[in-house]
Chains A and B, each alone.
Chain A
Amino acid sequence: MIIAIVCIAGIGLVAAVALALADRYLAVKEDPRIGMVTAVLPGANCGGCGFAGCDAYARALVAGTAPNGACAAGGDACAAEVAKILGVAATATEKRVALVKCCGTRSEAIRVGDYNGICDCATAAMTAGGDKGCKFGCLGYGACANVCPKNAITIHDGLAKVDKRLCIGCGKCVKACPKNLIELVPASATIHVLCNNPVRGPEVRKVCGVGCMGCHLCEKNSGGKEAGHFTFQGFLAKVNYENPPTDATIVSKCPAKCMIEDPHFETGH
């Protein structure tokens, strides 16, 4: 009985001394602010800031090598919290969300073949140039959906759609899309052109029923060139997100039906 008590107490004592020594001599010094910054970051580890997760970004912030405000998921509120801890001014950012600039579903945009292979956009595009008639449009094999950390992207009828409410704007899908048709746009913008095909109208019409033909009607209806709501790349209208249009009536006047006014973009056509 006594031997047992002595033994246990002895082990406890030795362990306590070892722990005390380890704490004194083996401790890794870490800036306590790293923990505090990590705590206010969203913890999604989406990588949208360009670092390998929230902890890595927090370390870079404390070290002063990363700008405050690179966290798209946390937004301004998060940047303000970080600013409070670190005492550096937050660069004001606007919440951005991903937009798939294509509305050519299987029923609207033609497919020129039956693709039979790996379900991946880049790989499908390598096979005979992809099975979609339009070489600029969404193939719908889900490369973006696969990398989305929030499962905000779903594929419906051969077309990727982003749910604005779930999107944190990390930009992973933008990099994953081999057709470069995903763009980060201000979450406040509600009018969008869902097309990425810059070629001439008749050519677009051969492959897609809802492709932009570059008719400039949207520009005319929203106050002309001077208003500056739209820019044009070839025969493709692009919303100028610095100065987005607000008049929703122009949407129904688009003859190509490639515009939407949609606060969540999850409905589309």
Chain B
Amino acid sequence: MKTVKSPFKFKGGVHPDYNKELARDMPIERLPLPGELVISMSQHLGAPAKCIVKAGDEVKRGQVIGEKNGFISVLVRASADGKVKAVEKRLGPAGSSADAVILETVPPEDNNPAPILPPLDWKTATREELLKRVEEAGICGMGGAGFPTSVKLNPPPGKRCEYLVLNGAECEPYLTADFRVMLERADRIRVGVEIMRKILGMCAVRIAIEDNKPEAITAMEKAFADIEGNVEIVRLPVLYPQGSEKHQIYATVGRIVPEPPALPIDVGCVVENVGTVAAIADAVEKGEPLLERVTTVSGDAVATPKNILAPSGTKYSDLVAFCGGEKEHPAKIISGGTMMGFAVSSLDIATTKTTSGLLLLSSRKVFQYGSQACINCGRCLRACPMNLNPAEISKAVEADDIKTAENAHVMTCIECGACSFGCPAYRTITQFCRRAKASIRARMAAERAAAAAAKAAEDAKKEAK
């Protein structure tokens, strides 16, 4: 095990105000069980889970309430004991509605409850057992996107994981949840890595941490001191978006993931957030599914910024109340960090497995987008970590010319926001990219549906003959 400086630097990137000092020294605190939880069936990437409880049902902590619904999907378990008040559509943090179980919680009868799943000894368990456990525990990527972890840990035939990259970059401003997890749960991360290596095969490990978290680097060095094999802690320069999967692979291993639909596994890499790795360790050793996570509540409008361990489905208002309420009236509420988080319209929205932060910003920290014309300054090109031409894309989408945007590789855009961050004309460049991507995806889906319908019609014709 050794610590190295990142050997590769990607092009572009920006330096936002990190504001991490607000919450970085606050130890993880457990939130007292809230009276009501809103547990969404869509806490992950892919098809929402199928709800299998109805109003009036009594559920136990850890009971499955949403079944996996397709290959790219994750099951949902109740994150507390309680009674289902209703099952209804609720607005999620990302702005889309999904079925949610409204749970009226009751305090647990037993302070030392039996494990929800039978604990496993990872040293003796088989690969299949471990993989099944990750799936049963409802684990998805906790960094933000929420990709089903069991799918990620099970590469398709012919593809092998050579490098397991642990994402501890946490390049989003304000957020310190991963930092605190690395500090306080380093041993769990170590166990998680051992388990993942058992599932993926004895691959090399790269632990990527930005230079502005020396304490986390020390904690990881201590935890991984005696690990076998090719393990390196990679100190990354402070640069946004260092935490992006593709850029992290480049910064640690020097490999470049091709354009979509290619995935990291195509270049022999699996990237996993440090929080997810700790969750895997808990799921295997303690039989504890992913029911709670650490969320940073920060911003200049919150009384005491904190890192809170809260069950998924906790309403934002409960988190804010636990932090001593609002210091002043917030002008913007963001679920996630300031670069890629989602603005939300109220504190009634509830956390999910991917909610890494909740920010309350005062009007001094909120800027307004404008509708000025592009002045062609080229700052967005220089900032774009994907080396795209955001100026051209934004101008094309503004003129409703999605085709030009597609030819300019808009589908490669990772929506990191570096372009809009530096735009002196305050243009909504990232939003233009989102709009183009949504419209291209819709068109592709329509084309796929049309092709499927045509094929079905042909098959029917053949059968008739």
Q: Does chain A touch chain B in the assembled complex, meaning CB atoms less than 8 Å apart?
A: yes
Residues of A that sit less than 8 Å from B by CB: 112-113, 116-120, 122-123, 125-131, 135, 146
Given contacts A118-B428, A123-B431, A135-B97, contact A128 B342 (CB under 8 A): yes
A-B contact pairs, 26 of them (CB 8 A): A112-B346, A113-B345, A116-B369, A117-B428, A117-B431, A118-B431, A118-B432, A118-B435, A119-B371, A122-B435, A122-B438, A122-B439, A123-B431, A123-B434, A123-B438, A126-B96, A126-B435, A127-B343, A128-B91, A128-B95, A128-B342, A128-B345, A129-B91, A129-B96, A131-B345, A146-B400
- Is residue B368 within 8 Å, beta carbon to beta carbon, of the partner chain? yes
In the complex, residue of chain B having the shortest beta-carbon distance to the beta carbon of A119? B371
Distance A117 CA – B427 CA, assembled complex (angstroms)? 9
Distance A127 CA – B341 CA, assembled complex (angstroms)? 11
Distance to closest chain B CB from A43 (angstroms):
23
A126–B95 contact, CB under 8 A?
A: yes
Distance A122 CA – B434 CA, assembled complex (angstroms)? 11
In the complex, residue of chain B having the shortest beta-carbon distance to the beta carbon of A203? B88
Contacts of A127 in B (CB 8 A): 95, 343, 431
- Is residue B344 within 8 Å, beta carbon to beta carbon, of the partner chain? yes
Distance to closest chain A CB from B313 (angstroms):
18
B334-350: CB near A (< 8 Å → 1, else 0) gives 00000000111110000
Distance A118 CA – B344 CA, assembled complex (angstroms)? 17
Contacts of B96 in A (CB 8 A): 126, 129
CB proximity to A under 8 Å, residues B409-465: 428, 431-432, 434-435, 438-439
A126–B438 contact, CB under 8 A?
A: yes
Contacts of A128 in B (CB 8 A): 91, 95, 342-345
Contacts of B342 in A (CB 8 A): 128
Contacts of B344 in A (CB 8 A): 128
CB proximity to A under 8 Å, residues B94-133: 95-97
Distance to closest chain B CB from A179 (angstroms):
13
Distance A76 CA – B235 CA, assembled complex (angstroms)? 74
Distance A131 CA – B91 CA, assembled complex (angstroms)? 12
Q: What are the 10 closest A-B residue pairs judged by CB atoms, nearest first?
A: A112-B345, A113-B345, A129-B95, A128-B95, A123-B435, A129-B91, A128-B345, A117-B428, A117-B431, A116-B369
In the complex, residue of chain B having the shortest beta-carbon distance to the beta carbon of A133? B345
Distance A21 CA – B167 CA, assembled complex (angstroms)? 74
Distance A126 CA – B428 CA, assembled complex (angstroms)? 14
CB proximity to A under 8 Å, residues B340-368: 342-346, 368
Distance A116 CA – B367 CA, assembled complex (angstroms)? 10
Residues of B within 8 A of A (CB-CB), count:
20
Distance A180 CA – B140 CA, assembled complex (angstroms)? 33
Distance A112 CA – B432 CA, assembled complex (angstroms)? 23
Distance to closest chain B CB from A172 (angstroms):
13
Given contacts A118-B431, A123-B435, 15 further A-B contacts (CB under 8 A): A113-B343, A113-B345, A117-B369, A117-B431, A118-B428, A120-B435, A122-B438, A122-B439, A126-B434, A128-B91, A128-B95, A128-B343, A129-B96, A129-B97, A135-B97
Distance to closest chain B CB from A245 (angstroms):
31
Distance A123 CA – B402 CA, assembled complex (angstroms)? 14
Distance A112 CA – B438 CA, assembled complex (angstroms)? 24
In the complex, residue of chain B having the shortest beta-carbon distance to the beta carbon of A132? B345
Distance to closest chain B CB from A88 (angstroms):
26
Distance A112 CA – B97 CA, assembled complex (angstroms)? 16
In the complex, residue of chain B having the shortest beta-carbon distance to the beta carbon of A130? B95
Contacts of A120 in B (CB 8 A): 435
Distance to closest chain B CB from A123 (angstroms):
5
Distance to closest chain A CB from B403 (angstroms):
15
Distance A123 CA – B432 CA, assembled complex (angstroms)? 9
Distance A183 CA – B185 CA, assembled complex (angstroms)? 57
Distance A99 CA – B428 CA, assembled complex (angstroms)? 32
Distance A112 CA – B400 CA, assembled complex (angstroms)? 28
A116–B346 contact, CB under 8 A?
A: no
Distance A264 CA – B31 CA, assembled complex (angstroms)? 58
Distance A118 CA – B400 CA, assembled complex (angstroms)? 12
Distance to closest chain B CB from A87 (angstroms):
31
Distance A102 CA – B366 CA, assembled complex (angstroms)? 32
Contacts of A112 in B (CB 8 A): 345-346
Contacts of A125 in B (CB 8 A): 95
Distance A258 CA – B458 CA, assembled complex (angstroms)? 47
Contacts of A131 in B (CB 8 A): 345
Distance A131 CA – B96 CA, assembled complex (angstroms)? 13
Distance A125 CA – B94 CA, assembled complex (angstroms)? 11
Distance to closest chain A CB from B344 (angstroms):
5
Distance A125 CA – B431 CA, assembled complex (angstroms)? 12
Contacts of A122 in B (CB 8 A): 435, 438-439
A129–B345 contact, CB under 8 A?
A: yes
In the complex, residue of chain B having the shortest beta-carbon distance to the beta carbon of A123? B435
In the complex, residue of chain A having the shortest beta-carbon distance to the beta carbon of B371? A119
Distance A127 CA – B430 CA, assembled complex (angstroms)? 12
Contacts of A117 in B (CB 8 A): 369, 428, 431
In the complex, residue of chain B having the shortest beta-carbon distance to the beta carbon of A131? B345
Contacts of B428 in A (CB 8 A): 117-118
Contacts of A126 in B (CB 8 A): 95-96, 434-435, 438
Contacts of B432 in A (CB 8 A): 118
Contacts of A119 in B (CB 8 A): 371
Distance to closest chain B CB from A74 (angstroms):
27
Distance A146 CA – B435 CA, assembled complex (angstroms)? 16
Contacts of A146 in B (CB 8 A): 400
Distance to closest chain A CB from B397 (angstroms):
8
Contacts of B434 in A (CB 8 A): 123, 126
In the complex, residue of chain A having the shortest beta-carbon distance to the beta carbon of B432? A118
Distance to closest chain B CB from A113 (angstroms):
4
Contacts of B95 in A (CB 8 A): 125-130
In the complex, residue of chain B having the shortest beta-carbon distance to the beta carbon of A135? B97
CB proximity to A under 8 Å, residues B118-170: none
